[in-house]
């Protein structure tokens, strides 16, 4: 469903943000 897809996208974004916080060089 759209809500489930949104939830998965949200979790992916949280994971990406967490990775950037741990590895700031990923922003380059």
Q: What is the pLDDT of residue 20?
A: 82
Q: Which domain holds residue 7?
A: 1-28
Span 1-28, pLDDT tens digits = 788 888 888 889 999 899 888 888 877 6
In DSSP notation, 1-28 reads: -HHHHHHHHHHHHHHHHHHHHH-GGGG-
Q: What is the pLDDT of residue 14?
A: 92
Q: What is the pLDDT of residue 24?
A: 82
Q: What is the pLDDT of residue 23?
A: 85
Q: What is the pLDDT of residue 25?
A: 87
Helix%, strand%, coil% for the chain, nearest 5:
90, 0, 10
Q: What is the pLDDT of residue 7?
A: 83
Q: Of 16, 18, 11, 17, which Cα lies nearest the Cα of 3?
A: 11
pTM: 0.52
Report how many domains make up the chain.
Answer: 1
């Amino acid at each position: 469903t759209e809500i489930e897809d949104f939830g998965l996208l949200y979790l992916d974004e949280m994971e990406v943000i967490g990775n950037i916080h741990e590895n700031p060089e990923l922003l380059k």
